[in-house]
Amino acid sequence: MTVEQFSVAGKTAIVTGASSGIGKTIAERFADDGANVVVCSRELENVEPVAEGIEESDGEGRAVAVECDVTDRDAVDALVDATVSEFGGVDVLVNNAGASFMAPFEDISENGWKTIVDINLHGTYHCTQVAGERMRENGGVVINLASVAGQKGSPHMSHYGAAKAGIINLTSTLAYELADDDVRVNCIAPGFVATPGVESQMGVSADEIDRESVKRRIGTTEEIADLAQFLASPASSYLVGETVTAAGVPPILETPDV
């Protein structure tokens, strides 16, 4: 029995929002398995250490850091051009760049609403459209990062949930549009994950999480990277247009009063 179908070795991947958390771990996982990765963030100084760490590791993949604001089309064009120039093409795009803040709907300003939708949804549009043009030549994989907030809604996160819901719908739509060009599009909808941001808000460290425990409501970035590698690999070749929820034990639904 072989497990080679789970490998991403030899592929070239762009991972947005890769300075920390889920994006950083996905980039490190891909490179460790032999993929070349281009990691990007709005501030180059935040993502350069990620590329340097990958280059200094024992993994076979190489890494390049690029400064890119995914809401800026020119910056996204430059990101993809740099990837093609360095590695010859684009095989995998991981749309991980995102942002959010918590506030009641009535307190969210128009600027705040537009900012969150722009980064999460519009950024995914820019990156997928630009990288997708390269992928149409030889096929590829797009992995979008959504959220359970985009599936069921979440109080005080209406802007974020709306943007992530758009990403889920975009995933299923593009799955049809890009399939003729051998480009697979899928999506991951994480629940609570122990990223630095979540740790600062909730006080839960990844070191405190028992990955062997089934009954839990918070995961690790490594578990999301496991799923991303599967979706990027040939092992998921028959999975197209799907949103995979990774959120631990589902909450118990209370019986409504009659």
What is the Cα 70 distance to its own chain's centre?
Answer: 13
Stated length of the chain? 258
Q: Which two tokens stand for residue 33?
A: 């398995």
- What are the residues whose beta carbons fall under 8 Å from the beta carbon of 179, sequence distance 6 or more? 240
Report, as residue numbers or ranges, the catalytic residues: 160
Per DSSP (E only), the strands in the chain are 12-15, 36-41, 63-67, 92-95, 140-145, 183-190, 243-246
* Straight-line distance from the first to the last Cα atom of the chain, in angstroms, rounded to the nearest whole number: 54
Q: Is there a contact between 13 and 36 (Cβ–Cβ < 8 Å)?
A: yes
